[in-house]
Chain A
């Protein structure tokens, strides 16, 4: 479904992403784990068109080259992202935030279906529909960010650190919901620092270190790899 080959990304003179290759297949949950600054978010932002890629990088989605498309064109093709730090619109109402997720869509009936779907997944958002998003709690804001991403009816959903800053029970709940969304047929690419949780629900995983792919294997194999255990799973 998604093929990333020889991805190189620079921040000014800093070479942040070095020759990354990765693949996501239809229906999978693929996770990218790694420590702070390993290049996880940069990889994600490169895929969704916010960052410009170095020459030679290639990103293909459903057979189409999307390397140089703008973010809104990429959203139209079926990739949406729930960004790191949630990046909601604090001064807009919850329902306006969701409406923005469907900005690229025009069919009113389909959009209202998506609302239903999001509210079914996150009943809390329905309750707070009219409230300004800035007044929501951290967990609710995370739900809103994911809900907004779903509103574009994506084929591939990119989730950046959905567990960041949340209490353990909320983290569990979010991961359960991710699994549920995946079960509804949405392919998911999950970027996480919480590697043990991520590898539990993922089919496959990539482990990034200083902008390179260090390991790439099925989640099961990675979970049992000693080096991975030591570095990312707390040595257990």
Chain B
């Protein structure tokens, strides 16, 4: 039973990790909390729903949905954040409020276009379940874990192994110097928004197909917990977000084991506050004054 809750925790934790990496990506590059991320995830899941229903092939549909969601994310940056960055006098609060505003705009558009009710979504990963000792692995749980790990590995490669990733890390460390070194910061920022959008869509798709449900508020609770996980791990640090997500997921399920389902939602935030009291920059966060 305890072991089972750990397995459940890892599986939900990897979903949190996937979402919280999206927060970290944007925070890393722009030092901003992308509070619109949860809605971008929801829109992504709904794109998957509509495109799969359009019946031009399952995988093509998902790929189109990924690209579209990436574009929504880029649109957000190009149409709202980029003009703000140019204006003198706009600070982090302006940007934060803009993101929260866009979050509600997207949420509302979702309600108008797709309606507020819960809609069924097909589970593409159902191959039965596997029992090892007293622990039951559900096939879709396994697929979700595997997919999340693959995506996280791919993101790690992009950021630490590719040229554009080097550009992203440079922009994160010192935007001005990156600019002077010949890094096209606009391209880097746009790219970051694009892949964070794609990650959001993948997370949305995995969640929708695991729970076989889609609805406009699906991102709300998830976004909150994933954001807590990102801050917990040290926002802006990729592996920190992954570990933060796992910690939140596992402790949440363990808490249910010890204290029952009522405390579950509070767990993420209790851990978050405790950790921040001890390590204000998060578990793997670097304090801001490492710059020379």
Contacts and interface: CB of A to CB of B under 8 A. Distances in A.
Direct contact between the two chains A and B in their complex (CB within 8 A):
yes
Given A86-B292, A99-B166, A80 B173 contact: no
Contacts of A134: 290-292
A103 B167 contact: yes
B139 to A, nearest CB: 41
Given A72-B184, A80-B180, A141-B292, 18 more contacts: A12-B88, A71-B180, A75-B180, A75-B182, A76-B182, A80-B181, A87-B174, A87-B176, A89-B173, A89-B178, A90-B174, A90-B291, A91-B290, A92-B169, A92-B173, A100-B178, A100-B181, A103-B167
Interface in A209-235: none
Give the size category of B's interface with A: 20 to 34
Contacts of A141: 292
A96 interface: yes
A101 interface: yes
B182 A103 contact: yes
B116 interface: no
Contact of B180 (A12, A87, A91): A87
A36 interface: no
Nearest to A81: B180
A42 to B, nearest CB: 14
A48 B292 contact: no
A70 interface: yes
B94 interface: no
Nearest to A71: B179
A91 B169 contact: yes
B190 to A, nearest CB: 14
A115 to B, nearest CB: 15
Given A89-B174, A90-B290, A141-B292, A48 B169 contact: no
B31 interface: no
A152 interface: yes
A32 B233 CA distance: 47
Nearest to A75: B182
11 contacts: A72-B179, A87-B176, A87-B177, A90-B173, A91-B286, A91-B290, A92-B173, A100-B170, A134-B290, A134-B292, A141-B292
Nearest to B179: A71
A144 B286 CA distance: 23
Nearest to A152: B182
B183 interface: yes
Contacts of A80: 180-182
B163 interface: yes
Contacts of A101: 181-182
